[in-house]
Amino acid sequence: MDHGIVILFNQLTMRVSGKTICCWAFAVVVAYCAVGCSHTQPMVSPAALRGAGASYRVGISGVYDLNQFDYAPVILDETAKMKVFSDTALTHDLSDTDFDYVIRGNFAYYKVPSKNGFHIFSIYCLWLPLLSGLPNTHIDGRADINFEIYHKGQLLKTYEYNDIFWAERSYLTLWPEPSLEMELRRLARLLLRDMSRDFFGHGVSL
Amino acid sequence: MTRCLLVLLLLLVTGCATRLEKAERLMARGEYVKARGYYQQELDIQQNNAHLPQWTGRAYRYSFVPANAAKAILGVGNSYKEQKLLDNAFYHYSYFIQFSLRHNLNFDKEISRIENWILENGPVVSESASGNDQIAVTEEIGPSDMTVMSAETAAQDRNEAAVTAIVESKKNEPAPRAGAKRKPKNSKAVSRKSAKLDHEEENLDMPVSR
């Protein structure tokens, strides 16, 4: 990183020419490719869930974090968007007879952003180097979620997913930063994939 | 001059009212949708503050106010109740009770009010309910409904099974985190104790930030 900074500084002090502009353009493209994020769990594409439709009514009975805040609407929205089930709704009752399955979840999540050495260096140059688009923030995070699937009040199965993620961000990064909502949507899609595989894909008798 | 100052002061006071106060005023006026918006805003703010604990110099603390969050949840539930949207009201009351037990908040009056309301407007017992359903149902319905049910032999068997299951679950189960609403009145002390234990675990579960 320090070596990169030295090169950048040298480039800044060089006379601007056609070659320099090309170098800069290349550096910016490289920076855009370098920054981004990575997860240990894949993002299931909607295309993978397209054929998994089942005519079941599914209820969401709360998806709580460590502080017992409810994020069920996010899961509900994602479930409805993926169209795996014929109908989804919130319910307070795990044994609600209106639903074929009721999902409940508990999760823990954290995301810690921290500024890197490039950002600290940029402070002494009036933040001008940050315009290069090189990453100046590193993000570490983790989400652990446990879903419980109930059928008429009886616990059928539990699914547990752990996702560790990191991200590098600059002021010019175009794609969205990892967030709790995005993370929950990712984990909800994993649940839908596994539910459709376990309950409907292989004709498991309940 | 004095009048102008009074008017300014009034404007300042009304402008500085918290979201919860504004929502309560709107609820009193009967504008439930607007009130729910304010409650939801307050809840969102508290939820965002609860994402990551802050280092205070001694320990990591969450910077949200649980009492305000609980009031906001209750407010959302009340607004649905006033609009006769019973499913949503049930859901938010359940959420409120779990939240207040989780944070060991003293909302006994509100919880007993909700219990009474559920006894009046509770869900109908279905015949196809299984053994575990009965555990939930027997806790949610009133004693009069139990008498009606006991007239049927099948229901009697299920009730006996449910009672056995409750006793066994109390012996075996440590403390269900999200099942607070299902507790009968006499087990409130038990549920509070379990919530307190959860609260104590909070510090252990807290993620360590850099």
pLDDT in tens, A162-174: 999 999 998 888 8
Q: Could you tell me the pLDDT band of residue A32, with boundaries at 50, 70 and 90? A: low
pLDDT at A30: 64
At residue B135, does pLDDT exceed 80?
Answer: no
Query: How many other β-carbons are positioned within 10 Å of the β-carbon of residue B146?
Result: 14
The CA distance from A70 to the nearest CA of chain B, in Å, is: 7
Q: Could you tell me the pLDDT band of residue B207, with boundaries at 50, 70 and 90? A: very low
Look at A14-28, A34-48, B90-104 and tell me which has the smallest mean pLDDT: A14-28
pLDDT at B131: 41
A144 contact residues in B (CB cutoff 8 A):
none
A49 lies within 8 A of chain B by CB: no
Please give the C-alpha separations between residue B173 and each of A108, A154, B170, in angstroms, as whole numbers. Answer: 22, 15, 6
At residue A88, does pLDDT exceed 80?
Answer: yes
At residue B196, does pLDDT exceed 80?
Answer: no
A166 lies within 8 A of chain B by CB: no
Q: Do A64 and B178 touch (CB under 8 A)?
A: yes
Nearest CA in chain B to A98: B126
Six-digit token string for B103:
């944070």
- What percentage of chain A carries pLDDT values higher than 90? 54
Q: Do A95 and B136 touch (CB under 8 A)?
A: yes
**Nearest by CB: A69 against B47, B123, B132:** B47
Q: Could you tell me the pLDDT band of residue B51, with boundaries at 50, 70 and 90? A: confident
The residue of B51, B97, B104 whose CB has the most chain A CBs within 10 angstroms, and thus the best one to mutate to test that interface, is B51
For chain B, the residue count is 210
What integer best gives the mean pLDDT of chain A? Answer: 86
pLDDT at A48: 85
pLDDT at A9: 60
Q: Could you tell me the pLDDT band of residue B12, with boundaries at 50, 70 and 90? A: low
The CA distance from A142 to the nearest CA of chain B, in Å, is: 10
- When pLDDT is averaged across residues B17-40 and rounded to a whole number, the result is 93
The residue of B61, B76, B132, B135 whose CB has the most chain A CBs within 10 angstroms, and thus the best one to mutate to test that interface, is B132
Q: Could you tell me the pLDDT band of residue A16, with boundaries at 50, 70 and 90? A: low
A162 lies within 8 A of chain B by CB: no
Q: Do B98 and A64 touch (CB under 8 A)?
A: yes
At residue B177, does pLDDT exceed 60?
Answer: no
pLDDT in tens, A91-100: 998 998 889 9
At residue B143, does pLDDT exceed 70?
Answer: no
At residue B66, does pLDDT exceed 90?
Answer: yes
pLDDT at B128: 42
- When pLDDT is averaged across residues B101-110 and rounded to a whole number, the result is 93
Domains of chain B, first to last: 19-122+180-210 (1.25.40), 126-173 (no CATH)
Please name the helix (run of DSSP H) or strand (run of DSSP E) that holds residue B155, with its range, or none: helix B153-172
At residue A102, does pLDDT exceed 50?
Answer: yes
At residue B142, does pLDDT exceed 70?
Answer: no
**Nearest by CB: B128 against A97, A106, A140:** A97
Q: Do B132 and A109 touch (CB under 8 A)?
A: no
pLDDT in tens, A60-74: 999 999 999 999 999
Look at A186-195, B61-70, B88-97, B144-153 and tell me which has the smallest mean pLDDT: B144-153
Of the two residues A177 and A145, the one the predictor is more confident about is A145
Look at A36-40, A157-161, B122-126, B144-148 and tell me which has the smallest mean pLDDT: B144-148
At residue B46, does pLDDT exceed 60?
Answer: yes
The CA distance from B104 to the nearest CA of chain A, in Å, is: 12
Q: How distant is the alpha carbon of residue B57 from its chain centre? A: 32
Full DSSP string of A110-178: EEEEEE-HHHHHHHTTTTGGGGG----EEEEEEEEEEEEEEETTEEEEEEEEEEEEEEEE-TT--SPPP
B179 contact residues in A (CB cutoff 8 A):
94
At residue B43, does pLDDT exceed 50?
Answer: yes
Look at A94-98, B82-86, B142-146, B157-161 and tell me which has the smallest mean pLDDT: B142-146
Torsion A64-A70-A71-A76 (CA) sign? positive
Six-digit token string for B174:
């440590």
pLDDT at A199: 82
**Within 13 A of A157's CA, how many CA atoms are on the CB side?**
12
Domains of chain A, first to last: 39-201 (3.30.160)
Q: Could you tell me the pLDDT band of residue B62, with boundaries at 50, 70 and 90? A: confident
